[in-house]
Structure 1
Amino acid sequence: LRSYAASRAAADDTAAEQDAARRRLFEHYLATADAAGRVLIPHFLRLPRAEPARVFDGTEAALDWLDTEWPNLAAAVEHPEAREYAWHLADALRAFFHHRGHHSEWIDTATTALTAAQAAGARQAQAAMRLSIALAGVNSGRYAEARAHLTTVLHDGLAADWPAGRAAVLNNLSAVHQRLGDPHEAIACGLESLRLCEELAIPGVTMALANVGFACGQVGDLDEALGHFGRALEIAERDGAKFSVAVVLVDLGHVHRDLGHPDAAAFYERALTANRELGYQYGEAAALSGRAVLEARAGDATRALSDAAEAVELTRRIGDRGTEASALAALGETCLRLGRAAEAVSPLSAALEIARETSFTWCEAAALTGLAEAALAVGDAELARTHGEAAAKLAARSGYRPLETRAAETLGQLAR
């Protein structure tokens, strides 16, 4: 039917009429996709444009429409007549891609729009498209590529006249530095993003706090991390930002767990409910992994192994290599804490392989630490020493104090 309609339009309509029809189609796609994306992740920074009318009642309806229409939207970005619509359409799709994955298509769509923005000399649009490509890179384990796009925005001044864009770039750089082994730079970028967000009174405050908190946890400043996460949750709940609430609840579960607080279990339960209601599988996987480790540390095997395994499956379904590595490391730790050291080796080895492939330094150190503990538990002192020394060296170089402490404990047991 669409093919027939297109053939009749080509035969019966003038060039001006065809152009007007295409523009109406692009306007419809943009308004509807933008409305859907704002339901999914309201806090995302977007290119300046008129805010669309509310079309969808909730996340499920927005996702249903986008699941059906996103290939048409992506095709519209590539249409030679799309012109300035290209980067707005790609920008509107970012929240959907963040939810669902489709990383290759996400990168292709944003790259096409970036090329169009470069041809038009649209610097703000170039910044937005590089930010989108970088986020796709973070979500698919392409951290070095993500860093390159983000630093290009800063070095080329693409967001010089867009302070909110600069804040978003710094916040995403914070997430990249967490993974590439520089948590102190992650904290610095996150704090600068936070300063800009507070100064400009823009919605990025919650996620900036969350990134600073996560990096603080990596270096062992757990009380500091708890403070940042607690403030982030308070702001997100006050603003009715359901996506931010879901993300921060997972972080609070992790930090309460690592502090040994009994509240951890309740935060994980809330996090699972919130992320499942939003259909956000990244958050669901992280909450399942975290709860599995919590329960395994307490010796409760009731659901820990099934939770950890389900988290790995979720990450594979959405194609997030970095989160898959983290989930595998958590599965390995779950096995270890339940006295199944031999079973821990396979997921920890897989986590190590992915971590090295993606330059995910924190996960590499975590996997090495777990492998050292597993080798010690099965009586292979030589292998335990090899993995333990590698883990301790990497964790010390990066400033990951909790992992350095764990590796040192294993090496200390070998020295007795």
Structure 2
Amino acid sequence: MKVVDGDRSIVPTGRRQATVLALLLANAGQVIPLERLVDAVWDDDPPATARRQIQNDVSALRRALSGGGARDSTIVSDGRGYRIVPRPGELDAQVFTDLVAEALDQAGRAESTAAAAKLRSALRLWRGPALSGLSGPAIDAVVLRLEEQRLTAVEECFDLELGLGRARELVGEIAELVAAHPLRERLVGQLMLALHGSGRQSEALAAYDRLRVRLADELGLTPGSPLQRLHTAILRNESEVWPRSETPTPAGDDGPAPEIPAQLPADVPGFTGRADHLRTLDELLPGHPGRAASTVVISAIAGTAGVGKTALAVHWGHRVRGRFPDGQLYLNLRGFAGEAPVRPIEALAHMLRSLGEPAEQIPVDVQTAAGRYRSLLADRQMLVVLDNAANADQVRPLLPGSPGCLVLVTSRDRLTGLLARDGAESLPLDVLSPDEAHALLAAVLGPDRVAAEPAAVEELARTCSYLPLALRVAAANLICHPWPSVADYVTALREGDRLSALDVDGDEQTEVRRAFDLSYRTLHPDARRAFRLLGLAPGPDITVEAAAALAGTDTAQARRQLDSLVAVHLVNHPVLGRYSCHDLLRHYAAERAHAEDSGHDRQAALRRLHDWYLNGADSAARMLYGQSMRLPMPAVDVPTPAAMADEAAALAWLDAERANLVAAIRHAAAHGPRSGAWLLADALRGYFWLGMHIVDWQDAAKTALTAAEAEGDLRAQAALHLSLGDSHYRQGRRELAIALYEPALALAERIGWAQCEAAATCQLGVMHRDSGRLRDAVDYLEQGLKLCRANGWRFGEGVTLIHLGRAYLHMGRLERASECCATALTINRAIGSRLGEATDLGYLGEIRHAQGRLDEAMEYLTEALPLFQELGDRTNEATTLRVLAAVRCDVGAVDEAARLGQSALALTRELGERRIEAEILNTLGALAHRTGRHDDAARHHERALALARETGDRHPEALALVGLAGAFRALGRHDEALDHASRALAIARQLEYGLVEEQAQALVDG
């Protein structure tokens, strides 16, 4: 498999990378969960490191696709998985589907020549079998889908070209495809038409016979009715044998033919987007591969108010009306309207009159009328659009009883019964994508006005929640009212009553609020209350458990209420167990809550929800890093989230709820109780540290610190200064970290909080260690160790010993470093701190490597690595991979060392850990030097040197100078080698880096 990007050819490294890239490209723009990628690569037997290997592959693909440049990567992550975002025109498969859609649109307007030419252009994009060289169930499914799309486009092209009289030119091409797909009836029929049109009647009949025999022998079937009719017409040597869909029905001897109904409303002006949905509907058409000819095709288009269900159905109906020669029936069932829904007997009476039935002969009972309706539709090819259905029972009497017709049903209800009992195919409709919303606004406002204010137009689309109705109303208001600019209108929407602003004067059908009202009124009172409270909840989504806490009910009742909201599309259910709604619906729900619920009830609901989040974060913190320093937690009378069985489950809960937890902190800081903000932020400090969620970390900590300062709570201020200091340290911003650790220490001393005093002292020691001030670092760390021991804080003692051991490692005092880390390991195992244990094992592995005891180093490191992976500490995971790479290099396993080093580098860059990246680059440089790739070694060390100087981390700076000296010496650049070795030696002597001094001295002497 190869990806062509401009003048570059990008070949994924190995089958695993190729499989990942293939699945992302085949589902461009859609999130592919990490678990699905794992399953696709390993089927049912993934290794323990499967998730990490996929993450590394994605990082490698990002770099390859970006070409090493500065532009944004095309692969993005949203926390659940990955999606690839190709630039417009970059993905052949998307260009192909767009061209096919445009061609079908032209064909629907009887522009056959242009449509055929466009289909040929689309087909020329195919350069061979899809995803050649890859296999597996997931890949095979993609290949099958792509091949079906190609063959369908080929058949559409053949239909058009046969109709244009090009039979002779097509015989050979169609015959070749029939040989490859001998049971594809549409292709066989096209071959028969081409042969007959070329004057080769007997060969056309023979083609039919070959298919008939093969179907009977292999499947026990006979050719479908359309092919049988074509066979009969050729057998009779009729001059006109084109399918019925292209032949007007002649008038009979009994008088003019009955009027063909054409009831579709006018197509929507400027209809844009929905390409995937239009393709899905195209696949419902009679004769499409895999579509059984013996069934009535029903599609249920479901979605929230204003999302464009009717527009999609009507637009598609106009596109394909040529495929339904007996006409199109349309009826608004008024399921969600300001008036009573249409009764089944009323609907049947309308349909029967449309089919030519005299009014006096229309039955008055539903059963008889439905039977008459089905009889009139038998053997006809009609499109039936049933708009705005209330439920499945309203629709069932209007369903044809025999094949040939296609039924489109639109509804705000999911119509689950119609799917289960009547075989309908669901087509859920969500809001537009940002690109689709931009195209809609450009179509209505005009491209010049949109181009003049691109940022304001983008903000307008977001403000309208990408809802088509809201977008069209906003565009109409911009056209009809003298707004100076789009930006001014957006400001008015943001600052005023947004729902009231999104209507058109004198036309209630365009009021967004009224559209929502019609859905809201259908709900049970309990479901209405649940919906109102959802509008108050901070955060982008909510679980059943959280919704139960918010409403003060049990989970069973909360699930029923949420399901009823999903059923009418007031709430989305995009991910199993999580519910959300777009901003306009959330705004409407909050509006209803303020109108219908008392202030006391609203505050009580939000307090229950916040307590539930706080209890969950506290439970996860106690499970993942229970001995770490924390603010005291009050008792809360709410249940603990169910998914807290072990560390992995606790981490998964925090990952899933992170956005909601940060939103809850902001809400508590703004609306109270303010203590809720700092307690929740403090509970998340360890999680933020592990996952390197820097943006959320600093947002939460700064917000909570402001709340603590407003309340004058010194303990909270100390904890939050420490937390913010940690966040800057993790970014390598050491001076900023020190500026926060020092007030944390002062506040802790002032209020007599010994644990915080010890933690701040320890972190100041770490800052001095990484800055190269090792003696100062040891002084701070020894002082912190005394504070921990004096107060019996075993966890703090273990952490401080780890940092002290690393300081001694840098000094070259390896035995003392080993003693510190071994003591820390004993402490952490005694208190059950698995994270502390993993860190000790990792450092002991690094010390053993420095001592040359490689077997022991491997034992420690291979024990530490899975612990870090299980606990989600990706930074220490990268560090462990780095040291493992160095150990494997020293034992001669060069290929494995290179793989481990690259995995560490990819992970570190994904995390943005520049300090660790410098260390890894030094290790990769040493590996390249060992294998004779001295130019590569120099490049790695130069990059490490730049990063180390950028972050102020002296140890990797000195190591980079040593590495450069070695590389330059091997390249014959002796003056530069001596210069770099001398500078490394000066740094090592100044800062007492014992091991570095030995290496630099050897280079100077050599």
Aligned position for 2:775 = 184
Aligned position for 2:628 = 44
2:745–2:756 Cα contact (<8 Å) kept: no
Distance 1:28 1:252 in 2: 40
How far 1:54 moved relative to its partner? 6.4
Q: Does 1:284 align with 2:877?
A: yes
List aligned pairs for 1:102-113, cutoff 5 A.
102-113=693-704
Greater strand share, 1 or 2?
2
How far 1:47 moved relative to its partner? 0.7
Structure 1 counterpart SS, 2:894: coil
Distance 2:589 2:782 in 1: 54
Stretches of 4+ aligned residues off by more than 3 angstroms: 4-8, 50-55, 155-160
Q: Does 1:153 align with 2:744?
A: yes
Structure 2 counterpart SS, 1:251: helix
2:905–2:921 Cα contact (<8 Å) kept: yes
Aligned position for 1:127 = 718
Q: Does 1:62 align with 2:650?
A: yes
1:253–1:268 Cα contact (<8 Å) kept: yes
Which range moved further: 154-163 or 247-256? Answer: 154-163
Distance 1:302 1:333 in 2: 14
Structure 2 counterpart SS, 1:263: helix
How far 1:310 moved relative to its partner? 0.7
The amino acid across from 1:57 in the alignment is A
Q: Does 1:25 align with 2:615?
A: no
Distance 2:749 2:817 in 1: 32
Flag structure 1 segments of 5+ consecutive residues without an equivalent: none
1:153–1:159 Cα contact (<8 Å) kept: no
Distance 1:198 1:370 in 2: 40
Aligned position for 2:400 = none
Aligned position for 1:240 = 832
List aligned pairs for 1:8-407, cutoff 5 A.
8-50=592-634, 55=641, 56-79=644-667, 80-82=670-672, 83-155=674-746, 160-202=751-793, 203-261=795-853, 262-407=855-1000
Cα distance change of structure 1 residues 319 and 219 upon mapping to structure 2, 3 Å threshold: same
Distance 1:255 1:129 in 2: 33
How far 1:239 moved relative to its partner? 1.9
The amino acid across from 2:772 in the alignment is G
How far 1:45 moved relative to its partner? 0.9
1:292–1:307 Cα contact (<8 Å) kept: yes
Deviations 1:30-63 (A, max 9, x none): 1111111222222321111147886511222112
Cα distance change of structure 1 residues 155 and 241 upon mapping to structure 2, 3 Å threshold: closer
Distance 1:401 1:54 in 2: 51
Distance 1:123 1:131 in 2: 12
2:714–2:751 Cα contact (<8 Å) kept: no
The amino acid across from 2:731 in the alignment is S
Which range moved further: 33-42 or 165-174? Answer: 33-42
Which range moved further: 196-205 or 245-254? Answer: 196-205
Structure 1 counterpart SS, 2:629: coil
1:205–1:232 Cα contact (<8 Å) kept: yes
How far 1:15 moved relative to its partner? 2.0
Distance 1:308 1:391 in 2: 24
1:113–1:129 Cα contact (<8 Å) kept: yes
Deviations 1:305-364 (A, max 9, x none): 111111111111122111122222222222223333222122211111111111111111
Aligned position for 2:183 = none
Structure 2 counterpart SS, 1:204: helix
2:651–2:871 Cα contact (<8 Å) kept: no
- Taking structure 2 as the reference length, the TM-score comes to 0.40
Cα distance change of structure 1 residues 159 and 306 upon mapping to structure 2, 3 Å threshold: farther
The amino acid across from 2:905 in the alignment is V
1:299–1:337 Cα contact (<8 Å) kept: no
Size of the aligned set, in residue pairs, is 413
Distance 1:329 1:103 in 2: 25
Deviations 1:86-121 (A, max 9, x none): 111111111221121121221122111111111211
1:127–1:158 Cα contact (<8 Å) kept: no
Distance 1:187 1:287 in 2: 24
The amino acid across from 1:327 in the alignment is I
Bigger radius of gyration among the two: 2
Cα distance change of structure 1 residues 111 and 250 upon mapping to structure 2, 3 Å threshold: same
Aligned position for 2:326 = none
Deviations 1:213-247 (A, max 9, x none): 01011111100000011111111112221111111
Structure 1 counterpart SS, 2:684: helix
Deviations 1:250-288 (A, max 9, x none): 100000111112311111111112212222211211111
How far 1:249 moved relative to its partner? 0.7
1:220–1:400 Cα contact (<8 Å) kept: yes
1:123–1:158 Cα contact (<8 Å) kept: no
1:178–1:362 Cα contact (<8 Å) kept: no
Distance 2:617 2:905 in 1: 30
Distance 1:158 1:5 in 2: 48
Flag structure 2 segments of 5+ consecutive residues without an equivalent: 1-530, 535-585
Distance 2:625 2:938 in 1: 38
Greater helix share, 1 or 2?
1
Aligned position for 2:280 = none
- Taking structure 1 as the reference length, the TM-score comes to 0.94
Aligned residues with identical type, % of pairs: 35
Distance 2:845 2:971 in 1: 31
Structure 1 counterpart SS, 2:671: coil
1:299–1:338 Cα contact (<8 Å) kept: no
Cα distance change of structure 1 residues 315 and 99 upon mapping to structure 2, 3 Å threshold: same
Distance 1:400 1:51 in 2: 49
Aligned position for 1:7 = 591
1:150–1:169 Cα contact (<8 Å) kept: yes
Structure 2 counterpart SS, 1:151: helix
2:714–2:747 Cα contact (<8 Å) kept: no
2:612–2:640 Cα contact (<8 Å) kept: no
The amino acid across from 1:8 in the alignment is R
2:959–2:984 Cα contact (<8 Å) kept: yes
2:868–2:874 Cα contact (<8 Å) kept: yes
1:296–1:338 Cα contact (<8 Å) kept: no
Deviations 1:391-412 (A, max 9, x none): 1112222221211221111111
1:297–1:338 Cα contact (<8 Å) kept: no
